[in-house]
Structure 1
Amino acid sequence: MVRVKYRKFKKKPSKVKKILFKLIRPVFLLGSLSALAFFFFGTSRFDPSDIKVEGVRRVNSEEVIAVITPFFEEKHLGLFSGNVFIFDRSGARARLTEFFPRVSDVSFKINIRSRELNIIITERNKAVAIWCGVMSLPESEDIINKEQQENCFNIDEEAFAFEEALQTQGTLLLTIKNERSNQELKQIGERVTEESFLKNLLYIRDVFKETSQLGISAVVLKDPDEVVAYTLENWSIIFVDSRSIEDQVTALREILKSQIPPEKRKQLDYIDLRVEERAYYKYR
């Protein structure tokens, strides 16, 4: 007897099912991602439960919170308000430094479990000099109003003006007066000059304080490139900022050491270093 084996016929899936299957997977994935995004961003579940401010000394914490709060109310993509995940950190940092010139840096620390946001503030607290912008008055102006043309600020080591200078600070900090005609009067929150230039001016002060016991009371910037340093002994030194300040300081130290003894320094009127590789001095 002959046995006949029958093979079971497997029905191939239709093209319609294949297409549906290919469509369902991305739709399901997109739906899952949308649900996850809504869970994190579209609900108030991750809004900050509390906002705290750290590191402030002179800046008001409540004002910091008032400036930062709108960043959690703004809509992103027209749908989601800012929460601890998606609020605009760089924008918030820029807004805080704009509102508070004393603030040099801002960082954010988030506790995911408690949804607590800590704003860590770094303030500009150390003034290294006083910067005064002095504008020349027209001849028709009343000399009484001259003080209105001088704005003085405390500046930090990065040359940022962060607060108005007190008159009593003039004896404690180096005073730098800018009398050049091409200057723009600066405001609090602005960089008054290049950081490297400020370092040169502080270098002049520090070198003479350490090596010659010679105090510098003020530095005046004059046209076109003069830097005039006034000593506590009531004589001046004329530099130029178009050449290396370090080279000029070296030349000055040499002339003080070899040609002008300490007992005669008080009789000086000025030392002029404007000519390269030359130093001229004049007694009163």
Structure 2
Amino acid sequence: MFRKKKPGAFHKNVFLPKRKEKRAKRGASEEKTGRPGMFFLSLFLWLVFLGTLGYLLLVSPLLLLERFSVSGNSRVSTEKLEDFFSQATSDTWLGVFSAKNYLLFRTEKFSAALLETYPEIRSARVEKRFPASLFLRVEEREAGVLWCSGGPCYLLDEENRTRESRAIIGLPEERLPVYTVIDKSGLPVDLGQPVFSYPFSTRLLALYSLLDERFGIKLEKESVTPSRFSDEVRFRAEGGYELYVNTSLEPQETIDSLALFFDGELPQEKLGELAYIDLRTENRIYYAFKNAPEEKKSEENKENAKDPKEGEKAKKKE
């Protein structure tokens, strides 16, 4: 009924588990002893990897912008732009990281500084090309327009927004012709805000150019307006007379009306006898001689001024 236990069975059931337990404890202690070593080894390897990667990306000369190319410039020489790039990238951060680094170089900051330093440049497009090239494409202004109204003068850009003008004031003519408009109302303007809803500066420069090319009329570079809301600019020509122009009209309309006026009403040779020519009213021209009452155009010439094409057709028939 009762089975007889084999000799040593008691030792097998009692003492062997204790031996296994001792071995397990010894293995666990060895494993615990090895874990810190593996951790520090892994940490060391990661630090070496990250340090090498950081050196290659941020410190190594492999990613320094050493090749600089410029296009689209004529007023500002390539040598000046290269010098500007060298000065802009001559600093180091924390005495270690070069400003020429491909990853650290900021194109927006460089472009903004360039436009502020050289007002001759209208826009600048900066492009980085991996691993060590920088390309600069610029568009230059033909001339600058300053708006002065009861305070500091501001540069009007192509979108008629006011910009700082410290760099443009006093520029020599060969660098950039500058035309100034004085607002007699003295209304303040906000920096960076548009002054007009239409291309005022573009039309103003076009009038200077077209009047000279078409009629040989050279205007002084300083003009006057009663207010920016009047859409009116008053120029003074070299002959001493004045031109009153509506800047809300296209410049070509003003030029066509003036051409008909010279052909049908007043020979251009008599310009020196005039006090002013008033072109502010569309399809109407008023004028006055020096020391004489104001004259108004005849009805026939008014009709021609309404439609320049009809006036040209009438001339061809004659």
Structure 2 length-normalised TM: 0.53
Instruction: List alignment gaps of at least 5 residues for structure 2.
Output: 1-45, 71-77, 291-318
- Tell me the alpha carbon deviations over residues 38-59 of structure 1, each in whole angstroms, 9 at most, x when there is no partner: 88x9532233623334435256
Residues 174-213 of structure 1: pairs in structure 2 closer than 5 A: 175-179=179-183, 180-184=185-189, 196-213=199-216
Distance 1:173 1:164, change over 3 A: closer
Does the 8 Å CA contact 2:111/2:126 hold for their aligned counterparts? no
CA root-mean-square deviation: 4.2
SS at match of 1:276: coil
Task: Give the superposition deviation at 1:240.
Answer: 2.0
Matched, 1:93 2:96: no
Q: What are the equivalent positions in structure 2 for 1:1-284 lying under 5 Å apart?
A: 42-47=53-58, 49=61, 50-52=64-66, 53-55=68-70, 56=78, 57=80, 60-66=84-90, 84=102, 87=103, 92-100=106-114, 101=116, 102=118, 104-112=123-131, 116=132, 118-122=133-137, 126-135=141-150, 149=151, 151=153, 163-166=167-170, 169=173, 173=177, 175-179=179-183, 180-184=185-189, 196-218=199-221, 219-223=223-227, 224-284=230-290
> Percentage identity across aligned positions?
15
Q: Report runs of 4+ in structure 1 exceeding 6 Å deviation.
A: 67-70, 155-162, 190-195
Per chain length, whose mean CA-contact separation is higher, i.e. which structure has more relative contact order (CA < 8 Å, sep 6+)? 1
Identify if the C-alpha distance between structure 1 residues 129 and 258 changes in structure 2 by more than 3 Å, giving closer, same or farther. farther
Bigger Rg, structure 1 or 2: 2
Q: Deviations over 1:73-125 (max 9, x none)?
A: 6xxxxxxxx974xx377xx222123333236324234354xxx2x33334566
TM-score by length of 1: 0.58
Q: Which moved more, 1:93-102 or 1:266-275?
A: 93-102
Q: Report the alpha carbon displacement of residue 281 of structure 1 after superposing the two structures with TM.
A: 0.5
Distance 1:274 1:191, change over 3 A: closer
* Alpha carbons 1:235, 1:268 under 8 Å: kept: yes
Would the alpha carbon gap of residues 233 and 129 (structure 1) be closer, same or farther in structure 2, given more than 3 Å must change?
farther
Aligned positions, number: 215
Contact 1:226–1:239 under 8 Å retained in 2: yes
The offset of 1:207, in angstroms, is 1.5
Cα deviation, residue 241, structure 1? 2.6
Bigger share in strand: 1
Which structure 1 residue ranges, 5 or more long, are not aligned? 1-34, 74-81, 136-148
When residues 270 and 168 of structure 1 are mapped into structure 2, their CA distance, relative to the original with a 3 A threshold, is farther
